[in-house]
Structure 1
Amino acid sequence: MSRGLDWFDAFREVAPEWAIVLLGLVTQLGDVWFLGVVVGTVYWVSTTRRDEAAAVFGLLLAGLSLITGLKHVFALPRPERVLVEVGALPETVHPLYQATATATGYGFPSGHALMTTIVYVSLAEYLSVGTRRQRYLAAAGLVTAVCLSRVGLGVHYLADVVAGVAIGLVFLLLVWRFLDRYPGHRGTLGFGLATGLAAVALVTSNVDLDAVLLFGTSLGAFAGWQLALLARGLDARRGPIRTSRPLAARAVVVVLSVATLVALIGYYWPVLLFAGSGVLGLLAAAFVTAPVLSRLERVDSLRGRSPSRSR
């Protein structure tokens, strides 16, 4: 089945061998590890807009589950062609080639295209660096560069990346309407959506490895954010927990979520996949909670510093 245009072959004839390295480096801008570093860094340093950063973090996890489920629903293969045969490259760049310019699994829609759209456009919407126009132009440029690199490397058809961008934009338009309706709960809604889509991906992917790990990570991030909000509420003296329904509800959610992750580790330990999902969940919870706890007034006072709380 052809989902692309024939210009790839013409491009391959004129492209120099070093183009594979350049495109491979560009495509890293849409890799999960790079997007995770970007969003995680923004979340940790955004002391004044932590809730918006938490929402972007949640959308990152939600997008990963969305693409995992969609790829298994369509189950369409990747192109059977490459820009440059690995044997034509110097041996010194073979590891770089394998790490940056190859791909496995299903090809439609493009995960790089969908994820870069969700992450970079969300950052353009919620960050305050530069003007809104500048942020959106930068996001459009990054998404376009990554999409072209995927097609140029021969790991996706043109239709794959177009569909990825389109699905990402539709997803954002729908989710933003929901988040804007409840601006004070953006983080909770983002992580909650990620957990729900991870559960759906478990079913549609027939308990695929990525879906299992994403479920644990999303549930842990959701629990971590609830714990952070609980600590923030107590620091603002909205407690004790037993007299506040919102705080009590968050406490119950945290206990149930963490108990689920611990159960995955303990009960399923012989099954390393499920145990790993639980471990990732606890790590995600700690990652989400830590920067919020470090900014609370009571923690600062215990350290002998002047109070400084992020809202």
Structure 2
Amino acid sequence: MIRFEDESEAIRDAASAESADLAAAVTSLAEPAVLLTILAVVFWVGNRRRTALVLSYGVAALGFYVSLEALLGLPHSLESALLAPAEVGADGFPSGHAFGAMVVYGGLVGAYERLRDPLAVAIAGALIVAVSLSRVILGTHYLGDVLVGAALGVGFVIAMNRLTRGAPVVGFLIAAVLAGLAVFLPETAAYDVLALGAALGGLLTAGWIDRLPSPRSRLEAAVLVVAGVAVVAAIRLVETALEFAPLLVALYAAFVAWVVFAPELVGRLSSALDRTRVES
């Protein structure tokens, strides 16, 4: 299998040691937890149904990828080539970061019908390319790994578009099936538990998406984002203290439930404060 080892080495040689920190920061833009947080913010301030659809794509992609990587079992690029410390798993083909970036950033462009918008396509494309190159620069993947990962992401989004037909609940159902299968495979990453919990959370809350209120002002939208991200950070902090898989599944389900119900809770709180001011 061609993984472009020589070309990957040339890219690493061309990158300076000082670029390692930047590459490490860029690569984090495709970490599952970061992608979920980005989708949460877009969900709170954007079109709820379209963003929920992409969220289901991302969760389904995570379940699909951990199974695929475990089945292929190809190693990462040489760890000795790393320019910066990074967690390197046992398997490395295709690149999960390139795959996830394409599914989420490319999926948002498609779901929001911005494929003919040069600026939206350019921003998403730049993010995908930057994440992919960061993996090569850090030495965690070969160039071939990220190219195949990105191409696989395109195919995955197209397939999910056709299967879901715009229904987030279908996307979360597919995600639950894929994550459920991944849980039973040997030597899969811990992300299979994340995918299963998030998929179940999406299935349980998808029916509420179209009923959620929109922020009545920019201030309410800002409060929603700040409060929402604060709770997400708290959930991630709790995650570090848990090792029991069923509890982690429940926690990730709660994560998605919070993303969905936060607009309702903040909206009710805002209405209650308005009534209090009027009565006073």
Task: Give the Cα separation in 2 of the matches to 1:114 and 1:273.
Answer: 25
Instruction: Give per-residue Cα distances to partners, 1:50-79, cap 9 Å, x unaligned.
Output: 111111111111111111111111011111
Report SS of the residue matched to 2:62.
helix
- 1:68·1:205 contact (CA, 8 Å) conserved in 2? no
Counterpart of 1:214, as a letter, is: A
Question: Any residues of structure 2 matched to 1:24-63 within 5 Å, and which?
Answer: 24-46=24-46, 49-63=47-61
**After the TM superposition, which residues 67-78 of structure 1 pair with which residues of structure 2 at under 5 Å, given as runs?**
67-78=65-76
Q: Give the match's secondary structure for 1:77.
A: coil
1:304: Cα distance to partner? 5.5
Larger Rg: 1
The 8 Å contact of residues 222 and 285 in structure 1, kept in 2 or not, is answered as: no
After TM superposition, the score normalised by the length of structure 2 is 0.76
Change (3 A) 1:12 1:55: closer
Note the C-alpha offset of 1:121: 0.7
Return closer, same or farther for 1:77/1:61 CA change in 2, 3 Å cut-off: same
Residue number among 99, 102, 105 corresponding to 1:120 in the alignment: 105
Provide, for residues 218-268 of structure 1, a one-character-per-residue CA deviation record: whole Å limited to 9, x for no partner.
202221223x259x39x9xxxxxxxxxxxxxxxxxxxxxxxxxxxxxxxxx
Where in structure 1 are there 5+ consecutive unaligned residues?
A: 86-96, 236-269, 306-311
1:215 aligns to what?
196
What is the Cα deviation at residue 292 of structure 1? Answer: 4.3
Residue of structure 1 aligned with 2:254, choices 282, 285, 309: 282
Aligned to 2:128: 143
Offset from partner CA, 1:170-223 (integer Å, 9 cap, x none): 11111112333xx4xx22122222212111212334675321332122202221
Instruction: Give the whole-Å Cα distance in 2 for the aligned partners of 1:72 and 1:63.
Output: 14
How much does 1:294 deviate? 4.9
Q: Which residue of 1 aligns with 2:228?
A: none
1:180-219 equivalences in 2 (<5 Å): 180=165, 183=166, 186-205=167-186, 209-219=190-200
Deviations 1:29-61 (Å, cap 9, x if unpaired)? Answer: 222232122111001112xx2111111111111
- What SS does the corresponding residue of 1:16 show, helix, strand or coil? coil
Cα distance in 1 between the residues matched to 2:250 and 2:132:
33
Separation in structure 2 between the aligned mates of residue 44 and residue 301 of structure 1, nearest angstrom: 17
Q: Which residue of 1 aligns with 2:238?
A: none
For the structure 1 residues 279 and 37, does the alpha-carbon distance in structure 2 shift closer, same or farther, using more than 3 Å as the test?
A: closer
CA deviations 1:78-125 (Å, max 9, x no partner) are 11144456xxxxxxxxxxx43xx4432310111001000000111112
Distance in 2 between residues matched to 1:26 and 1:213, nearest whole Å: 22
Length, aligned pairs only: 247
Structure-1 separation of matches of 2:272 and 2:13: 66
Q: Which structure carries more relative contact order (alpha carbon 8 Å, separation 6+)?
A: 2
1:66-145 alignment runs, 5 A limit: 66-83=64-81, 97-98=84-85, 101-127=86-112, 132-145=117-130
| Cα distance in 1 for residues equivalent to 2:120 and 2:173 | 27
Q: Specify every segment of 5 or more residues in structure 2 that has no aligned partner in the other structure, as ranges.
A: 214-241, 276-280
User: SS of the residue aligned with 2:107?
Assistant: helix
1:207–1:118 distance in 2 versus 1, CA, 3 Å: closer
Shift of 1:291: 1.8
Deviation at 1:282, TM superposition (A): 2.8
CA RMSD of aligned residues (A): 3.0
Q: 1:10 to 1:276 in 2, by over 3 A?
A: closer
Task: Give the TM-score of the pair, scaled to structure 1.
Answer: 0.69
**Match of 1:281, as an amino acid?**
A
Aligned to 1:309: none
- Does residue 162 of structure 1 match 2:142? no
